[in-house]
Amino acid sequence: MSRAVLSLGSNVGDRRAHLQKAVASLGKSVRAVSRIYRTPPWGPVPQDDFYNIAVIAEDDTVDAQGWLSRCQELEQAAGRERSVRWGPRTLDADVITVEVHRKPVVSADPVLTLPHPRAAERAFVLVPWAEIDPTADLPGAGPIADLIAAMDVSGITRAGYVR
């Protein structure tokens, strides 16, 4: 069994609809979806706030590369354009962690580094993930609850649910 933690975010157009469509597209593989969190943008580009969610998905037929391919397909379906690094986007879909047979996949491949190399720094990833898996560990970084406790999360607010 392959299990992935995915981080989905949107700050262009109908943010909630982009997230809803992405979750629906993941279909029966979805095991848990966090609430939507409104989060300030991360990085140097001025832009609108994001709506972010975490998704736990499982599928016997998908490996780590397959989860990356699914994320890229979700972004394409949402019309994502990659014109500015860390810029505004209809959908940002990232693979945060993958486990195969309950063992974390660790990869230094520049195309798919696992666990996600900046996840431990990003409250917009960890806060939604903690909601659906509060005892989770980020491989190499420790319990996500401890990581969150050391962060400023004051700019993060709940913004509803994906339906």
pLDDT given at position 128: 98
Do the domain assignments include residue 97? yes
- Per-residue pLDDT of 41-85, as tens digits, reads 877 888 899 999 999 999 999 999 999 999 999 999 998 877 777
For residue 109, what are the domain limits?
2-158
Q: How many domains does the chain have?
A: 1
Do the domain assignments include residue 163? no
Closest CA to 75 of 64, 86, 91, 59: 91
- Per-residue pLDDT of 100-132, as tens digits, reads 999 999 999 999 999 999 999 999 999 999 999
pLDDT given at position 96: 98
Rounded to whole angstroms, how far apart are CA atoms 61 and 72?
17
Do the domain assignments include residue 106? yes
Do the domain assignments include residue 124? yes
Closest CA to 109 of 117, 120, 100, 121: 117
Give the pTM. Answer: 0.94
Which CATH number does the domain housing residue 34 bear? 3.30.70.560
Do residues 53 and 128 make contact, with C-beta atoms less than 8 angstroms apart? Answer: yes
Do the domain assignments include residue 132? yes
